[in-house]
Structure 1
Amino acid sequence: IHSNVLTKINISTISKSNFEDYYNNILIPNQSRINFLRLSNPFTAEIVFLEPHLILNFIRLETLILDNVQNKNFDKFLDYLIWLPNLHAITISLTEHTSSLDTLFSQIFRLSTLKYCKIEYQIKNYQQPLFVYFTNNDSSPIEYLIINGHFPFSAFHNLLCCLPKLQHLSINSLVNYDDYQARDKLSSIQLKYLKHVSLKLDYVRFDEFEKIIKEFFHHIQILRLTTAYDEIYLDAKRWQQLILFHMSYLRIFDINHQGSVISNNNLTYHDIINQFNSSFWNEKKWFFTHQHEWEHRLNTGIFYSTSPYRRKDYTYYWEIDKELGLYHQRENLKSVKHFNIASKIKPNHRIFFSNINQLTIEYYVETLDDNSFITNLKCMIPLKQLTKLVINLTRFPFEEIIKLLRLTPNLYTLQFVIYSLQEIDSNFSKYNILLQHTLKKNKIENLILTGRCSLNEIRFIIYVFSKLKCLKIGINRTQILSLIRYL
């Protein structure tokens, strides 16, 4: 076997027996040569780290990626990672719910050579605060940190104090818990290397976030924020002062705010956001627009940056108010790959998204019989290009899903709620006829169903989607043995 081949190991879909053979015949003999290791199935990590001390043999390992790893297995071998002299990057995706982040972060921050860290986790109760405490001993050399999971805002200050070399920070859910018991704040440090910050703020008030900006964001060049509710985030003059005096190097200001306005000065929603149309914003070429979720609620909306930023995701709401005088360039729609429908599509929509390959439907379509929904949809996106379709609606008729499948011959991933199959038992022959074209043409390999399936529904699914490689469903434990005969 050529030596270069065995420096990078990427193991995704594989059976347990095949992996055991691969482990004994390939991994074990070449541990000291591997510099990249990715394990994507839960049992692969269990086998590789059955004896945690064996990780010490991966002396050249630079990048470790663990997808869908169980918390107990991760805790076992994490202590041994500190002895790997070349480990620069780690990506961890935990499968089980997390109630405390203390152990996770304290162990990761002990890795003295780590430059890149990406962590993904879930919590069981979104109302219950997570606990994570940092001390002066938790300083880490991490330069690039991505956290995909709820992180308490009250611990954010101390987190930043532990990352003196941080350059890039991304947190997809920075949450303010009212009953979180914060410990004493660490002494602030100057983050002179921090250039890029991307945050989604959940229930974090502007006044509190402003303190973070003044303490840590002096050198940032790119700021991307997603927030809601607190209307002070729409105060253009306050942002202007912050940028002038505390973020003077800022090149990109990218904001997305969703919420309503309750003004004490008789100012409307449009009056407030129109303040972003001053010379300060125009000279920096920072342009903004907005949409309304509902036609008759113009005091609430989604306000967001447009050009010159390239986005991969676009959420369609009711409509941009045509009477608003905001000066902005036409959005760069060529970069958009994912189209999310969150409101009723108006007929004769003039914007066409030519490069869409993923579609999410979240808005309840009231009138499906006249085909207007699909007709309007075809005027906005190229359905033949879609490779992924997600339907996050409980009562989306399966007959409509069939219509969409007929128009999406290149679909490889499909996700919908199991409730859509409730009529299958009584109308099997009807759907069988409708599906004849789909049975021959569909290429779906990945199917995700939300909810619990009956055995009849599973039998129908296997019959329709015969090319499946990955199926995620919910079933009762008593049905597992019966299910096996259909697979």
Structure 2
Amino acid sequence: MQRTKQQEKDIEQNLRRIQKLQLENSVTKINSNKYTMEDFPNEIFYEIFEYLDLYDIYKGFYNLNTRFRDLTIHANVLTKINPSIMSNSNFKDYYQNIVKPNQKQINFLRLINPFVINIIFPSPRTILNFNSLETLILDNLHNKKFDEFFDHFMHLPNLHSLNISLTECIKSLYILFCQIFRLPKLKYCKIEYYSENNEEPLYIDLNYNCSSIEHLIINGPFPFNTFNNLLCCLPKLKHLSMNSIVGSQMISEIQELSPIELKYFKHISLKIDYIHFGKFEKIVKDFFHHVQTRDVRSLDAKQYQELITSYMPYLRIFDINHEYSIGKNDLTYHDIINQFNSSFWIENKWFFTHQHRRTLGPHTGIFYSTAPYRRKYYTYYLTLNNEVCSHIQENVNSVKHLHIVSQGIQNNVLNYFPNVNQLSIRYISKKQNESTIAILQRIVPLKQLTTLFIKYIDLPVEYLIKLLYFAPNVHTLNLIELPSSVTDLKLIKENETSKCVSNMNKIENLTIRRWITFYEIPFILHFFPKLKYLKTQILTHETRKIIRLLLSETRNRIRNLLKTTP
């Protein structure tokens, strides 16, 4: 009997548990006999290395003595390079001793900082030294760098996985995808970009470009009028995910390619914006015959039923998520979603639930699939109106990242999310106080949070301090802007809760999306003493003042940030 993927995954996890127990037993036995660390056999260290980041191995063992240096160099983990945040000088040392001598055996490379990319690849051609490279992940890559590297990517014989996040606006999607489709061995590709021109036709000559890609993720706006041509270039496609397919008013002058049979195409996830159902229906008829899993973002039960019955005979999972307006004035939101209660949906075991804010009227809401899907990300809309619409509640134990959207949290909270460790909050109301935090504690275990996103402006500094007081294990904080009152640092320092939070918070990564000024820097340095990484925008004319301030600060207060400044 052929094993399922889940069974294989369970077997692999059990083997890992057994290996870990054997390692723990070996260490316990050695400790009971009062051996020193150097008495451990090499196999024990190789097992330990499996649980550590390569840079931690290098930092902890490489310079101890000759034996540990040899152990570090010959460890199998040297095939994977995924450097954490570190200073320019530290990385240069790491590069010279670990990365450069082993570049021919490295098969996994993830780089998140532009200055690191410049050190490892002083010229684009040097990427050819990594001739065993199978997986390449480049975050925050400048478009010019991507263009320079690309011709050399072509000559990496084993490159089958590419993950790239571009920092600048894409001028031509045509050129971008032409480049990607030229890579002869590529099986997995994830590309993240933003574009101002979402209506550019994408026409690729199939005689020149038939891509080998099987798993494609596109995070960026893609024009629907050339979606057909994209699919025609992917004859081996198995999985497609696109977070923004946008409609176009432009009449395309190019001739659409004739549909091809995508016989391996099983899974698709699409977010569709302002696309007429008839146009989408044509794509389904032409390409989705073999699809088994479908995640969609539009809403019409009868049309979907007909489409699935006639053109998607293998569909097993139908995962829908529709938000906001239904766009029909003669029907309410309930009229539309009640159509998903027919025998067709029940017999296929496709069940749904909904929530909505009454203040936006009877034509808006959020409608989405429930069991058997186990969501890790969940958007929770809270209403100011005490009248709560009754609907099926789903199991939320699988949710790890909760996004709360509200006009102001009230006591009519319906759900508790016990396993959330990432929280995003977007409020419309400015009235945030201690009672709001108390209600938040009824929704998520605040002490469990490690990542916090606050997505609204005019944030009161008192609220931020209080929230961090009850969420002491947050290490990553993302704000749209700093509270306006942070410039009054003297008053903040006098607050007892503020003193406690300043001394105890564990925040190492801080992102502020809007501009910060010279006068806000002291608050950051005082309030986040463990900060290692700061991403924000500053005014050009304040750059020198800010640098002088950083260099004049007590080094104990900003020592971690200075260590990681490029």
TM-score, structure 2 normalization: 0.79
Q: 1:180 to 1:409 in 2, by over 3 A?
A: farther
* Structure with max Cα Rg: 2
Per-residue CA distance 1:79-110 (angstroms, 9 max, x = gap) = 12222221111111112221112222112211
CA contact (8 A) 2:184 2:211 kept: yes
Which of 543, 553, 559 is the equivalent residue of 1:480? 543
Match of 1:331 in 2: 394
Which of 294, 302, 326 is the equivalent residue of 2:358? 294
Match of 2:9 in 1: none
Whole-Å separation in 1 of the counterparts to 2:378 and 2:226: 31
Q: 1:373 to 1:3 in 2, by over 3 A?
A: closer
Whole-Å separation in 1 of the counterparts to 2:200 and 2:494: 49
CA contact (8 A) 2:355 2:389 kept: no
Whole-Å separation in 2 of the counterparts to 1:345 and 1:182: 51
Tell me the secondary structure at the aligned position of residue 154 of structure 1. helix
Match of 1:404 in 2: 467
Which of 83, 87, 92 is the equivalent residue of 2:155? 83
The offset of 1:261, in angstroms, is 3.7
Amino acid at match of 1:13: I
Given the alignment of the two structures, is residue 423 of structure 1 paired with residue 493 of structure 2, yes or no? no
- Percent identical pairs in the alignment equals 52
Match of 2:282 in 1: 211
Q: 1:61 to 1:234 in 2, by over 3 A?
A: closer
Match of 1:20 in 2: 92
CA contact (8 A) 2:291 2:314 kept: yes
Given the alignment of the two structures, is residue 116 of structure 1 paired with residue 178 of structure 2, yes or no? no
Tell me the secondary structure at the aligned position of residue 109 of structure 2. strand
CA contact (8 A) 1:290 1:302 kept: yes
Structure 1 segment 6-45 matched on structure 2, within 5 A: 6-45=78-117
Q: 1:449 to 1:54 in 2, by over 3 A?
A: closer
Match of 1:70 in 2: 142
Whole-Å separation in 2 of the counterparts to 1:448 and 1:182: 43
Whole-Å separation in 2 of the counterparts to 1:410 and 1:172: 31
CA contact (8 A) 1:309 1:332 kept: no
Which of 446, 449, 453 is the equivalent residue of 2:509? 446
Match of 1:230 in 2: none
Tell me the secondary structure at the aligned position of residue 485 of structure 2. coil
Q: 1:417 to 1:94 in 2, by over 3 A?
A: closer
Whole-Å separation in 1 of the counterparts to 2:228 and 2:387: 39
Whole-Å separation in 2 of the counterparts to 1:426 and 1:69: 37
Given the alignment of the two structures, is residue 48 of structure 1 paired with residue 117 of structure 2, yes or no? no
CA contact (8 A) 2:510 2:534 kept: yes
Match of 1:358 in 2: 422
Per-residue CA distance 1:436-471 (angstroms, 9 max, x = gap) = 111122111111123222222111111111100111
The offset of 1:195, in angstroms, is 0.7
Match of 2:169 in 1: 97
Whole-Å separation in 2 of the counterparts to 1:403 and 1:472: 23
Q: 1:297 to 1:24 in 2, by over 3 A?
A: same
Q: Name the Cα RMSD after superposition.
A: 2.2
Unaligned runs of 5+ in 2: 1-72, 551-557, 559-566
Q: Name whichever of 454-463 and 173-182 sits farther off.
A: 173-182
CA contact (8 A) 1:45 1:73 kept: no
Tell me the secondary structure at the aligned position of residue 38 of structure 1. strand
Amino acid at match of 2:472: P
Q: Name whichever of 67-76 and 28-37 sits farther off.
A: 28-37
CA contact (8 A) 2:515 2:539 kept: yes
Whole-Å separation in 2 of the counterparts to 1:240 and 1:152: 26
CA contact (8 A) 2:331 2:363 kept: no
Q: 1:351 to 1:259 in 2, by over 3 A?
A: closer
Q: Name whichever of 68-77 and 185-194 sits farther off.
A: 68-77
Whole-Å separation in 2 of the counterparts to 1:160 and 1:87: 22
Whole-Å separation in 2 of the counterparts to 1:60 and 1:234: 47
Per-residue CA distance 1:274-333 (angstroms, 9 max, x = gap) = 010011101111111211123461221111111111111222224698666x7x5x4120
Match of 2:129 in 1: 57
Match of 1:240 in 2: 305
Match of 2:449 in 1: 386
Match of 1:229 in 2: none
The offset of 1:69, in angstroms, is 1.5
